[in-house]
Structure 1
Amino acid sequence: MLCLKTPIFMLLISFVSSQPPQDVLPFTPRPPATGPCPVVPVVQNFNLHRYLGRWYEIERFFAPFQTGDCVTADYGLLPNGSVSVINTEVVEGELNSVMGFATLGPNPAEGRLVVTFPFSSGGSFSVDGEPNYTVVATDYDNYALVYSCSSFGAGNKIEFSWILSRMPNLPPQFVSELKKWATLVNIDAARYSPLKQDYTCPRRQI
């Protein structure tokens, strides 16, 4: 769950050009938006230890690097103080996982993280060490709203956002309130799409 600058734009172009016709995609790819990234609120006095553990993805913006269902993200503390990030999803019936790493941003009291993942071209999703994962809201025990935005080129931006839950399902009123909050802080809530988190999903041990 992350974002990058020019590399993600190239990845997006590659993804769209290599996929089947748009009507069979689980999400509709969008071109980069124009304008600056909005300044969104961030959780203060962020408690990294309480944020660790498993999160289930409930809704998300389209992301070319994440197209499956049954998505989970597992965060664990490593001996060096950084965080392991294991994202797992089911794509066409196959369970896939990728491991990345996260560190807190320059201000450890804020819920901004630098998240990196490997990808097939041999690089990593990163933004020159700048935070690329903002926890906009969380109560640590039930829900989290995460946002990522990177500017590139002449006034373009790529945005991603996720609604997360500690359980496979989040009550509709929670989802509704999180979308209202997203709209208030200039995150386009119309871009969220739900994904499958039902009894057919594998329930992996944490």
Structure 2
Amino acid sequence: MKRLILLLLLAACAKPQPGEPVGGLLEVYRDRSVPIGSALNFDAGRYAGKWYEVARYPVPFETGCVGVTAEYAALPDGGLSVLNTCRNTDGSVRSTIQGRADVVGPGRLSVSFDTIPFPADYWVLWIDEGYRTAVVGAPNGRSGWILNRDPQIPADRLRASRDVLEFNGYDLGRLVEVSQ
């Protein structure tokens, strides 16, 4: 029995490489040996509002989703409420999930959703000066998004967003553009 527990602990500590399945559920999309940084100039109040997902790394909870949006609203305690909406190709709402984001450092959010028993670390890796485009990633490399205030992103900000992902060790070959 001790040997089985030891093997399970060792397996849990194994470091997956980019694109490698993790526990059969999530994949890792970034080289975790590359240091990841968050936006030091992050302002949660300016981040509040509606964001359109223009590109993402595949995650199970967004399979088949198009027209994905994330809406953040400032809370009195400094946190943000979160409402993520997934749509079908005909524009109808497929699913929504509500949660809360707490700022735990510059550009670093701890996000908890009502139906998920554990929080996730989402770091704002870059946000343009006008708060029109944001790149969000996870230190564990299992997720990443390019968000924009409008459904269509200008080519220069898309290129800058992709550069930020690549700089932070993400595999751009796995990035999927999302229809709005």
TM-score (norm 2): 0.76
The answer on 1:148 being equivalent to 2:138 is: yes
Query: Structure 2 matches for 1:81-160, cutoff 5 A?
Result: 81-91=78-88, 93=90, 94-95=92-93, 96-105=95-104, 107=105, 110-119=106-115, 123-126=116-119, 132-139=121-128, 140-150=130-140, 158-160=141-143
| 1:169 maps onto 2:175 in alignment | no
Inter-CA distance 52–37: structure 2 relative to 1 (3 Å threshold)? farther
Superimposed CA distance per residue, residues 66-110 of structure 1 (whole angstroms, 9 cap, x where no aligned partner): 1200011000012233210000111365402110101011x3xx1
In structure 2, do the counterparts of structure 1 residues 84 and 34 end up closer, same or farther at CA, with 3 Å as the change threshold?
closer
Map of 1:80 onto structure 2: 77
- Say if 2:57 is the partner of 1:66: no
Q: Decide which structure has the larger Cα Rg and report it.
A: 2
* 1:181 partner SS: helix
1:98-134 per-residue CA deviation (whole Å, 9 max, x = no partner) reads 10101011x3xx1001001133xxx42425xxxx011
Q: What are the Cα deviations for residues 118-155 of structure 1, in whole angstroms up to 9, with x where unaligned? A: 33xxx42425xxxx0110110243200110133xxxxx
Aligned to 1:27: none
> Aligned partners of 2:112 and 2:155: how far apart in 1?
31
Q: Distance in 2 between matches of 1:133 and 1:42?
A: 9
2:162 maps to what in 1? Answer: 179
Report how many residues are paired: 157
Determine the C-alpha separation between the residues in 2 that align with 1:81 and 1:141.
18
What secondary structure, in the 3-state scheme, does the structure 2 residue paired with 1:135 have?
strand
| 2:39–2:107 contact (8 Å) kept in structure 1 | yes
In structure 1, distance between residues paired with 2:164 and 2:56: 15
CA distance in 2 between counterparts of 1:137 and 1:146 reads: 7
The amino acid that maps onto 1:133 is: Y
What corresponds to 1:194 in structure 2? 177
Q: Is the 8 A contact 1:118 1:125 kept in 2?
A: no
Q: Per-residue deviation at 1:40?
A: 1.3
Q: Within 1, Cα distance between the matches of 2:37 and 2:80?
A: 23
